[in-house]
Amino acid sequence: MVTKMFGHIIRKTVEVYIDDMLIKSLRKEDHAADLLQVFNILRGNRLRLNASKCTFGVSFGKFLDNISTKAVWDTLKEAFLESTNESRILLTTRYKSVAANSHADQSSSCHQLHLRTKDESWDLFEQMVHFPAESEQPSREVAKKFKALVSKVVGRCGGLPFSILRVGYLMSGKEVTVEELSRVLEHITHNQTPWFETLDINEKDLPLHLTQCLSYFGLFPRDFEIPARRLLALWVAEGLAQPIGGEEEESLESVAKKYLSQLIDRNLVQVVERKLNGDVKTCGFPSALRELWLRRHNRTTPTSFLSSSLDNRLAYYFDENDASGSRNHGSSIHSPHILRSCRNPRSFLFFDTREGNKPGQDIGNFLHRGIASGHPLQLQVLDLERVFRPQLPKNIGKLIQLTYLGLRWTYLEDIPESIGNLLNLLTLDVEHTYIRTLPGSIWKLQKLRHLYMNEIYRSKIVHQPRWNFLRSLQTLRGAFVDKDSPLKDGLGNLSNLRKLALAIQLDLSQQNALAENIVKLTHLESLKLKSIDEMGRPQELKVKSLSTLKNISSLYLFGKLQHPFIIIDINGLPQNLTDLTLSASKLSDDPIPKLEKLQKLKSLCLYCDSYTGKKMVWSKEGFPQLLVLKFWMLQELEDWDVKEQAMPNLKQLEIRSCKRLKVPNGLKHLKSLRELKLKDMPVEFTTTIKETKEQIWRDIAHSLAIIN
């Protein structure tokens, strides 16, 4: 594809290698025209450049590829020390020690290449392969299968640009069919060559703690997108995250997060999706790399029913799509071989995609038999996430070593009272279940650090004994607070909370104690408050000044703010905020002059009726770090005035259902914008943006994607 695009100027003014380009000119006065020619070709093919990798005006350069040791670089750099001709040196290496040494000079900069996310992988793949529209497929079923296969092909590349481009090259210019995709998928699955070097380099200096954490990925099914929230909690529960050296004051969760970041930096783990603030949302072990790792570390590749034992950790798989080809393995959940193969398991992780009651019954019977036999009494982790209504035994309290109980997306309706005997429990996750009330025995769990409840189903905690407080609790999400809730007046006793998300149904007078207790939680890092009525509609919300909560980086407020001037003020908000979401706030005065002074804000979401005025003004140099901006259902907004140099780093803008909004003249000032989403906007608004796109953003070198 690249050869077709630039064939007439390759080896003249352009050199291309995979996704790297060099634009060269014999005469300095011709260089601007040569650049413009390339930019026009890129723009015409809807391609974008990575600005962080672009360097302009290089008069003389040296390219040193694949420097393998610090000693080699130390020898070579002596030849360049006396250079006075403004030359630039481009050095590539696969070794962090070499990069760190070359980066020691303050005049140099280091750009680390990472595996692509799912969206980034798709963008790269789509540039090379043309897919038929859904309407061109023979049937809806074929279209569905086609879409799933394309997603699997791109995902199987593991975010490695070389693999994505190689597969794209194989498919470019061909008619893409289900059969062709299946063939390519088989080819990717067996092609592990690009990953050998990644593994070889890392195994030389991979610390034991990272080796253990990477091996843990092997318990998850191939191609599984693992929520970072789940993975980090499991590592902590398993004892894999431990402070090193003088890090005793650092929380285990922070240590686990650091481990994940290090594995990502080594390109051993792919970030599949990121949150708006840039944090990892889901991650994965690239398929080919996973197979190599398991083979080298004497781990047999798991069947669809049961993985091999991994340090007394067991994972049970049932994928209905693979069931017909896997029954011959004979390792069903009913088999006594499972418990005999690992008499004292530390962990059970269940992955069962079947619908209906059968999965819950099977796992219930398995746990009943296990507890009766005494085999799993040393169990530390029981993860049943997404298994439909597992039947928990009433005597589950006998698993007294349990540190993690994952029941998210199980749609359970109740939980046994004996859970109060799990005195070592660190994480209890019942989000997305039908559990209305947690048993009173929950207050016995004095080591509990993370409690996830179901806000939508109004999960409650019953009254606790006066002397019992969950003082170790760091995360409380999804709890429902009404006039009878012990949290209404007792929230301040949970003094170690870091993350708090509550849905409250209280009138303003009943919110006083709650508002006062929240400002006492000095360790808070994330706060989400939703004030709703019995139908879930927004109600008045009382919030005191949060400026004393200096650790808060994420804030979400849903409901009409009683005294908005207290909160929407530079002195009312934490100065370390990176994410702010307002919904149904009913702000009549433009909040932007106050909010744009938040120097660290990276994401701002103004949702339905957060602002009821007609005009907003965004000043010069306001929001210096903002990356993501969303307007949803601002029904009265007509004019959006964006001054020059406002939001200099904005990458994503989404405007949804703002029916009265006129096309802002200041859009041209958003020079770093990469993606503009227009959802449920008037046809005239969307058409005008698309038709004048080239005029609005004529000064930017990269291509802007407009999605509607």
pLDDT of residue 387: 92
Give the DSSP letter string of 273-340. EE-TTS-EEEEE--HHHHHHHHHHTT-PPP-SSBPPPSSSEEEEEE-TTTGGGTGGG---TT-THHHH
Beta bridge partner(s), residue 271? 283
Kindly state whether residue 586 falls inside one of the protein's structural domains.
yes
| Mean pLDDT of the 306-310 span | 48
**Mean pLDDT in residue range 638-648:** 93
**pLDDT tens, residue by residue, 163-178:** 888 888 777 777 788 8
| pLDDT value at residue 307 | 44
Name which of 123-137, 179-193, 296-310 the model is least confident about: 296-310
Segments of 222-307 assigned E as strands = 226-227, 270-274, 280-284
pLDDT of residue 468: 67
pLDDT at 651 over 70: yes
| Mean pLDDT on 33-56 | 76
| Res. 132 pLDDT band, cuts 50 70 90 | confident
Kindly tell me if the per-residue pLDDT of 247 is higher than 70. Answer: no
340 pLDDT more than 60: no
The mean of the pLDDT values for the chain is 84
Overall average pLDDT of the 565-588 stretch: 91
Is the predicted pLDDT of residue 104 greater than 60, yes or no? Answer: no
Where a domain ends, among 71, 102, 133? 102
Q: What is the rounded CA–CA span in Å between residue 383 and residue 123? A: 34
Q: Determine the pLDDT at residue 271.
A: 96
Quote the pLDDT of residue 1: 61
| Distance between CA atoms of residues 681 and 659, nearest Å | 6
pLDDT of 122 > 50? The answer is: yes
Residues 222, 150 within the same domain? no
352 and 384 Cβ atoms separated by less than 8 Å? no
- Read off the pLDDT band of 306 (50, 70, 90): very low
Q: Where does the pLDDT of residue 611 fall: very low under 50, low under 70, confident under 90, or very high at 90 and above?
A: very high
Examine residue 622 and state whether it is found in any structural domain, yes or no. yes
Statement to judge: residues 468 and 350 lie in one domain: yes
**Greater pLDDT, 515 or 70:** 515
Specify the pLDDT at position 149. 87
Instruction: Examine the domain organization and report whether 465 and 488 are in the same domain.
Output: no
Lowest mean pLDDT among 205-214, 284-293, 464-473, 665-674: 464-473
Helix (H) / strand (E) element for 35: namely: helix 31-44
Which pLDDT value is given to residue 671?
Answer: 87
Structural domain containing residue 175: 118-190
Residues 469 and 487 in one domain: no
Asked if residue 423 and residue 281 are part of one domain, the reply reads no
Q: How far is CA 96 from CA 158, 205, 549, in A?
A: 21, 11, 37
Mean pLDDT in residue range 406-421 = 94
pLDDT the model gives residue 327: 30
Query: pLDDT band for position 549 (50/70/90)?
Result: very high
* pLDDT number for residue 399: 94
Residue 107 forms part of a structural domain: no
Domain end position, chosen among 429, 451, 473 = 473
Strand segments (E) across 211-338: 226-227, 270-274, 280-284, 313-318
Give the model confidence (pLDDT) of 357-378 as tens digits: 888 888 888 888 888 888 788 8
Statement: residue 414 has pLDDT above 60: yes
Q: How confident is the model at residue 305 (pLDDT cuts 50, 70, 90)?
A: very low
Q: What pLDDT, on a 0 to 100 scale, did the predictor assign at position 319? A: 63
| Residue scoring higher pLDDT (588 or 700) | 588
Query: How much is the average pLDDT of 418-444?
Result: 93
**61-64 and 88-91: which strand pairing?**
parallel
- 44 within domain boundaries: yes
- Max mean pLDDT among 61-75, 397-411, 689-703 falls in 397-411
Q: Which pair of tokens denotes residue 222?
A: 């191939």
Task: Indicate whether 197 belongs to any domain.
Answer: no
Q: What is the pLDDT of residue 169?
A: 78
Which CATH number characterizes residue 275's domain?
Answer: 1.10.10
State whether 138 and 219 are in the same domain. no
Evaluate if residue 180 carries a pLDDT over 90.
no
Mention every residue, 6+ apart, whose C-beta is less than 8 A from residue 426: 233, 236, 237, 403, 404, 447, 448, 449, 450
450 and 313 inside one domain? yes
Pairwise CA distance, residues 300 & 341, whole Å: 14
Percent of the chain predicted with pLDDT > 70: 84
Domains: count for the chain: 6
Please determine, for residue 302, whether its predicted confidence score (pLDDT) is greater than 50: no
Residues 51 and 177 in one domain: no
Confidence check: pLDDT of 422 > 90: yes
Is 80 exceeded by the pLDDT of residue 16? no
The answer to whether residues 314 and 463 belong to one domain is yes
What CATH number is associated with residue 359?
3.80.10.10
- Say which residue, 691 or 464, is predicted with more confidence: 691
**Shared domain check, 461 and 356:** yes
- Would you state the pLDDT for residue 144? 80
CA angle centred on 395, ends 390 and 396, rounded to 5°: 55
Tell me the per-residue pLDDT of 478-534, one tens digit each, with 9 for 90 and over: 999 999 888 888 898 898 999 999 999 999 989 999 999 999 999 999 999 999 999
Amino acid residing at 116: R
Going by C-beta distance under 8 Å and a sequence separation of 6 or more, which residues neighbour residue 234?
A: 216, 381, 383, 404
**Number of helices followed by number of strands (H, E) in the chain:** 21, 29
What pLDDT does 330 receive?
32
Mean pLDDT for the stretch of residues 247-262: 86
Kindly report which listed range (42-56, 127-141, 216-230, 329-343) carries the lowest average pLDDT score: 329-343
pLDDT score at 88: 66
Considering only 95-109, 275-289, 584-598, 640-654, which range has the smallest mean pLDDT? 95-109
Q: What is the pLDDT of residue 317?
A: 82
Query: In the prediction, which pLDDT does 569 show?
Result: 81
**Do 460 and 384 fall into the same domain?**
yes
Mean pLDDT of 5-26: 76
pLDDT at 453 over 70: yes
Question: What's residue 250's pLDDT?
Answer: 80
Q: Mean pLDDT over residues 174-191, rounded?
A: 78
Q: Is the pLDDT of residue 325 over 60?
A: no
Q: Which helix (H) or strand (E) holds 90?
A: strand 88-91
Confidence of residue 646 (pLDDT cuts 50, 70, 90): very high
Question: Is pLDDT of 277 > 90?
Answer: no
Distance (Å, whole) CA 250 – CA 244: 9
Structure tokens at 511: 């919110």
Considering only residues 205 and 131, tell me which one the structure prediction assigns the higher pLDDT: 205
Q: Are 444 and 420 in contact (CB under 8 A)?
A: yes
pLDDT at 63: 59
Residue 617 lies in a domain: yes
Q: Which tokens hold the place of 458? A: 């109004």
The reply to whether 612 and 691 lie within a common domain is: yes
> In this predicted model, which residue has the larger pLDDT, 86 or 581?
581
Percent of the chain with pLDDT over 90: 45
Look at residue 86 and tell me whether its pLDDT is greater than 60: no
Q: Is 111 exposed, middle or buried (0-12, 13-18, 19+ CB in 10 A)?
A: exposed
Quick check: 609 pLDDT over 70? yes
Last residue of a domain, one of 130, 156, 190: 190
User: Does a structural domain hold residue 330?
Assistant: no
pLDDT value, residue 51: 63
pLDDT band at 283 (very low <50, low <70, confident <90, very high): very high
Checking if the pLDDT of 21 tops 50, the result is yes
